[in-house]
Chain A
Amino acid sequence: MSAATQKVPGGAQAPPGAAPTSILGLILRILALALIDGITIWLVYQMVFDGYWPLAATLALVTIWVNIVFLSGRFYPLRYVAPGLALMVIMVLYPILFTFYVSFTNYGTGHLVTKELAIEQIESQTYLPPDATIYQWTAYRNPAGEYKLWMVNPNDPTDVFTVVPGQEPVARTGEPPAELEGFTQIPTNQLFGALGALSSLTFGVKPDSAFQVSQTALGQAAQYEQLYVYDPAQDAMINQQTGEVYYNVNGTFTSESGATLTPGFAAVTGLQNYVRLFTDPTLSSTFLQVFIWTVVFALLSVLLTFVLGMFLAIVFDVPEMPLRAPLRSLLLIPYTIPAFVAVPVWVGLLNPQFGVISQMIAAITGGWVPAWFSDPMWAKVGILLIQTWLGFPYMFVVVTGALQTLPNDIYEAADLDGANAWHKFQRITLPLLLVTVGPLLVASFAFNFNNFVVINLYNQGGPPMPNVPTPVGYTDILATYTYNIAFGAQGTQDYGYASAITMMIFLILFIITQFQFRFTNMLEERGRNV
């Protein structure tokens, strides 16, 4: 190895600082980057406009980094991983961090907007002093786009004046003319288009003659007063009419008597969501029961689908099996039907009174039918039945594939040793299969742990539990249970609390899968010894 190549960072394949590739390659690369940059600029523009600053910044930084990697020869080796890393940051890391952040805020119903926007919105509220006159206006516009109002007091025909923004009113008499000192009366068919401009203006001079047009009724104007003024020193809103002070309490301006102003804004509330999660008595009393069923549900879903899938795969692996190919295709059908179609169909089939399956069971048992939806045990059996039907084709495909990789010589050796079929399965096939499909089983477990769709479609988590402090059903898993708490039963969209719950489920699942991966590693070691 020469001294020259040793200086090159990034391995033997990295070219030195000279021109990296052909002109065509360079042009293609620049075009691709230009496309990505163009899309990014468009997206960032959109996001900034909508107020999504953190996401816009993340996207911009990631894109700049990608540009540097692809334009500078120094980071050549990074080019292989850059697309994957960039997508991971945007699609995986950012959402996780954002969820983590939201879990420390009270973002949700009543706290949707930013503080600046909430203040602006509250300060835009006006009130009409009790003795104020409501005038009727006629609008004028001049070629420069300035507006003038001709105002008439409906209770006093002599109280007539015109007013423009920033100047004192001028007294008038008679009917509004078509033309007035360079201003033209806005015809009806143009008036609607001018309403936005008219209602954003203040006519006259503050404080004694400042008129605004009514936001709700066409043709009315009055001296509206600003109802609330924000005081940054106290971080409070002050009601100009009553003098009442509304202090900022966790993102809601609240008076001492408990009255609140809307909108509130999203505020960082620290650990409040987590404290609530761990101290909520309605949650803690049923949490364990739901958690146990969640684990049982996920484990049994994986186990049953795997056993059935593996059994069928081994059966169909025998070359003498007639019609092997078409039957194998048929077995895939459940996998191709989406759950939101398959589950309701199953619910219909199982219906104790009208369902075909239940009627068949009734014919056999002489009228007795499992209470698939009202009995806790049978509801769980019903869900696992559907889960097995939905999930076995996946395991069937996976195991069929894995079986092709098993070496034949081991089986020949086993035959020589006089092993029977069961022994071969138990000692050779199963351990070797588990090495391959073990990680898939873990993934399947994690998926079913949060399998919201099937639970919700089957019976919305029912049948309900009696004598519990919060609505919860026997087949509710953590995902449906907490969904109801964060979005249903409280009657609000509590994203902050939901995020805190999500973080906890993430943690639980992380711990469980760590154990499972340790177990599959063990299997792998055993697999090597077969």
Chain B
Amino acid sequence: MRNKLLLVLSVLVIASMVLAACGAPAATPAPAAPAPATEEAAEAAPTEAPAAEAPTEEAAAAPTEAPAEEAAADTGVSLTIWADEQRAPILETLGDAFFAQTGVKLVVVQKAIGDIRSDFITAAPTGSGPDIILGAHDWIGELNASGLLAPVELGPNAANFAPNAVQAFTYTDGKVYGMPQATENIALIYNTDLVPTPPTTFDEVKTMSADIKAAGTLYGFLRQVGDPYHYYPIQTAFGGYIFGQNADGSYNAEDLGLNSEGSVAALTWLDSMYADGLLDRNANITGDLMLSAFQNGDAAMIISGPWAINGIKAAGVPYAVTNIPAGTQPGAPFMGVQGFMVNAFSKNQLLAQTFLQTFVATDATMQAFFDQDPRISAWTPVADKIEDPDLKAFSEAGKVAQPMPNIPAMNSVWGGQGDAITLVETGKLTPQEGADQAQSQVSTAIAGQ
């Protein structure tokens, strides 16, 4: 009995070992200790003949003078980057050139943009995160609060980045936490049949809307209910603001302006659009409804972003893109910036930084990103060459754009401000009451952080 049990156990253990051994290689994490692997690979190199692709660009900041004409041997080192489905293919192509020149493998993991942040938050502290992520600049508040990001050095060509895009990635400590790749902002899109000359002020928007409606179109200007993001240019046009800015351009969470005079004036204008019957208090216009109303010719003017253009083109409505109208001052939309961030827990930070400086911050790479995914490039040599009239117009409207605040306090704004706008739009609160409620709810939420 005892012998038998022993036999059974040993068979079991052996079987487990075999299975575990089969399973283990897949589990081995990618970024291993580089030194020993480097040696073995370097010695084994001559027997291997990597694809003889002529290097297109010499590494700009390379400190050595050794020639690099021949393709590099596999060094056994890899760099992991998480990117969305739009930009992962570009990075994969770039990875081939990178490997040919440096012998370092670029592992590109494609993830939905929404998953990159949450997965990174989970993975980075355990050491199994990527070396680089590609994401939006307003993530850095939350990621920095947990100490997950390392400051990024923009390298010798830093001057080529659009200054406001770099500003967007600058945190309250004055350091830059991302290398900008593309920027995004909203603008006024109008139906050229219904609106021959675009409005330059929000008062004009109102009078035009009244005329257009009188002429039989359902809406002149249409916007989605609530939604602080698309409301922000209206708010700023009347002198309102969310956070005050410090002298260096960073946002000050102490200075909350949701019920400032300008913010109330903006809500008052919006309320008057409903009060005059130019918008419908109960219509519950969502973003999708707003776009389809524009596509059907039921709305003459909307505020939206470059993502709306494809649908509008497909619908065949004659349209044009122009600057946000002014109230007491030009309306400033939020600017969102996409860029590369470096994991503070990465063991390969210098490699990651060098990769970004010498392989990403180049005309060729930035142009490739733009060709694949036409967003306004944060790399001015590429942005200056944009031919597309719509993108040019969005870029023009973005000249006054303000970076979306990257401080954690901004996350507290969306709920309270959105509710207040909705309550004013549906006629449940006066503009002053709505602004006061937003101010008190948001400041309570910030205090509770």
Contact = CB atoms under 8 A, between A and B. Distances in A.
Interface in B46-101: 58-59, 61-64, 66-68, 70-73, 75-77, 101
A466 B429 contact: yes
B411 interface: yes
Nearest to A26: B8
Contact of B411 (A351, A471, A491): A491
Contacts of A72: 5
Interface in A336-364: 347, 351-354
Contacts of A468: 437, 441
Contact of A216 (B68, B121, B153, B226): B153
Interface stretch (B9-17, B202-210, B333-341): B9-17
A262 B104 CA distance: 31
**Listed residue (B64, B75, B415) with the most chain A CB atoms within 10 angstroms of its CB:** B64
Best-surrounded residue of A112, A217, A464, A469 (most CB of chain B within 10 A)? A464
B48 to A, nearest CB: 13
B1 A218 contact: no
15 contacts: A33-B12, A34-B15, A45-B27, A176-B64, A187-B68, A191-B62, A197-B35, A216-B349, A218-B350, A263-B125, A374-B281, A374-B428, A465-B419, A467-B437, A491-B142
B282 A352 contact: yes
B354 A193 contact: no
A193 B18 CA distance: 33
Contacts of B102: 188-193
Interface of B: 1, 4-5, 8-9, 11-12, 15-16, 18-20, 22-24, 27, 29, 33-36, 38-39, 41-42, 58-59, 61-64, 66-68, 70-73, 75-77, 101-104, 121, 125-126, 128, 142, 144-148, 150-153, 155, 226, 280-286, 289, 293, 344-345, 347-351, 353-355, 357-358, 408-412, 414-416, 418-420, 422-423, 426, 428-429, 433, 437, 440-441, 444-446, 448-449
**Which residue of B29, B39, B152 has the most chain A CB atoms within 10 A of its CB atom?**
B39
Most buried by B among A38, A67, A121: A38
Contacts of A51: 126
Closest 3 CB pairs between A and B?
A193-B75, A38-B19, A491-B411
B449 A262 contact: no
Given A41-B16, A138-B64, A193-B77, A484 B415 contact: yes
Interface string A115-149: 00110011000000000000011110000010000
A191 B64 contact: yes
B63 A196 contact: no
B64 A139 contact: yes
A470 B76 CA distance: 54
Nearest to B68: A188
Contacts of A176: 64
Nearest to B75: A193
B408 A112 contact: no
Nearest to B422: A464
Contacts of A374: 281-282, 284, 422, 426, 428
A216 B152 contact: yes
A214 interface: yes
